[in-house]
Chains A and B, each alone.
Chain A
């Protein structure tokens, strides 16, 4: 028992205290959060663009199809199919080891890989949200003489946004956890440091438990915030 306790203390010290290693976990977590935020921005921008292109294409009046929109729509379709049809880890390895194999800025590569991946999922979420808005809403907008863009901007998108916030929140949490995959291409986020410390001390248990615990705490907080936001929205629905 005594021996176990001593061993525990030694490993704990090695994992977190020696050379102020705990700072590395925090630094890694900061990078993880930054990665999540940047990837989310890329993902939302890409996702909204793709979703708007795809629904604009589907809503064209028959006989008046725009050929350029047709091509762009086709590209968007390929994008979502490829990204959603291949594992994220494989995509990240392709970005990191093939396309940007000599880029030193691994954060950038990871951010790009995550953002582009997330965009495909966000696109489907947003597209679903746009379709969930009653067709009568855009008909009313168009019948007043508003153009397609204004109708989307003032009428459809604000209503769609409310409907998709919960799924967007989920996507955010998934993305947050998936950032751990970029450690495989050498971006220095929390798991990267944990593995480095584990490799150095030949002791992985504490670094990995510590990492898991930090993820867990953040996920619980994010989930709580998400629930709060949803309750808010539901209240404003009743006004």
Chain B
């Protein structure tokens, strides 16, 4: 589904991603962990070209999306992204937050989108907030809305960048529940997270990044129980 070849990214003179090759298959739940500054966010943001790779190619569903001729907006419509700080649009109601993109990109008409928004809101148990504004919501509610906003585009893959890091501890669970459900439905997911419990339980594969490299990857079971690389062992000993 997503194929990354020799991906490098540098900011100014700092090399943040160093020649990464990776393949993500449909239905996989790839969890990315690693110390701060290791390039996890940058890697994720390269996948939907929020960052432009310095070198290398990314192929999505057979199309080389790093090719400058590719219509990037059409590619992004098929890739949902959830941010650490939610990034809901404060100037719109929740319903409008969800329906704006499907309607403006021509995916569906407003009535259709309204119906979809309603069913998505039901799913995260926030129907009563449809006409509220983001500032009236708690962090956990905001993030659940951000997830269904991305889902409204009917994406083929969902990218999560530390979706629970900005939340109060008591709200982490409700967001992870939504993600867990999404995983069970078979969504392809790439998740950067510090929630090791979630990684172990939901992930089909865990990648460990450090210094712009994917140092080690394995099934969650093997990864957490028998980490191979000394850096991985050190990192896990600190966070577990």
Residues of A in contact with B (beta carbons under 8 Å apart): 61-64, 134, 136-137, 139-147, 150, 154-155, 158-159, 162, 237-239
**Are A136 and B104 in contact, with the CB atoms below 8 A?**
no
* Contact among B75, B101, B150 for A146, CB-based, below 8 A: B101
Could you show 15 A-B contacts with beta carbons less than 8 Å apart? A63-B52, A134-B87, A137-B87, A137-B89, A139-B87, A141-B89, A143-B150, A145-B73, A145-B78, A145-B101, A150-B104, A155-B91, A158-B91, A239-B133, A239-B135
Q: Is the interface of A mostly helix, strand, loop or mixed?
A: helix
Q: A144-B149, A158-B91, A239-B135 are in contact. Are A63 and B68 (CB under 8 A)?
A: yes
**Are A142 and B150 in contact, with the CB atoms below 8 A?**
no
A238 to B133: give the CA distance in the assembly, Å. 10
Min CB–CB distance A143 → chain B (angstroms)? 4
Chain B: interface size category: 20 to 34
Chain B contacts for A154, CB-based, 8 A: 89, 92, 100, 104
Asked whether B74 is an interface residue with its Cβ less than 8 Å from the other chain, the reply is: yes
* Contact among B52, B146, B153 for A145, CB-based, below 8 A: B153
Asked whether B231 is an interface residue with its Cβ less than 8 Å from the other chain, the reply is: no
**Are A143 and B50 in contact, with the CB atoms below 8 A?**
yes
A176 to B89: give the CA distance in the assembly, Å. 35
**Are A62 and B89 in contact, with the CB atoms below 8 A?**
no
Residue of B nearest to A150 (CB): B104
Chain A contacts for B150, CB-based, 8 A: 143-144
Chain A contacts for B133, CB-based, 8 A: 239
Q: A63-B68, A64-B68 are in contact. Are A146 and B105 (CB under 8 A)?
A: yes
Min CB–CB distance B97 → chain A (angstroms)? 9
CB interface residues, B 76-134, toward A, < 8 Å: 76-81, 83, 85, 87-92, 100-101, 104-105, 133
Residue of A nearest to B51 (CB): A61
Min CB–CB distance A87 → chain B (angstroms)? 39
**Are B91 and A159 in contact, with the CB atoms below 8 A?**
yes
Chain B contacts for A147, CB-based, 8 A: 73
A64 to B81: give the CA distance in the assembly, Å. 23
Further contacts, 7 of them, CB under 8 A, given A145-B74, A237-B135: A61-B49, A137-B89, A142-B50, A142-B76, A143-B81, A162-B91, A239-B135
A146 to B80: give the CA distance in the assembly, Å. 12
Asked whether B48 is an interface residue with its Cβ less than 8 Å from the other chain, the reply is: yes
Could you say which of A62, A64, A145, A155 has the most chain B C-beta atoms within 10 Å of its C-beta?
A145
Chain A contacts for B146, CB-based, 8 A: 140
A141 to B133: give the CA distance in the assembly, Å. 17
Chain A contacts for B89, CB-based, 8 A: 137, 140-141, 154-155
Asked whether B136 is an interface residue with its Cβ less than 8 Å from the other chain, the reply is: yes
8 A-B pairs with the lowest CB-CB distances in the bound complex, closest first = A145-B77, A140-B87, A144-B101, A143-B81, A136-B87, A145-B76, A61-B52, A158-B91
**Are A136 and B153 in contact, with the CB atoms below 8 A?**
no
**Are A143 and B48 in contact, with the CB atoms below 8 A?**
yes
**Are B79 and A143 in contact, with the CB atoms below 8 A?**
yes
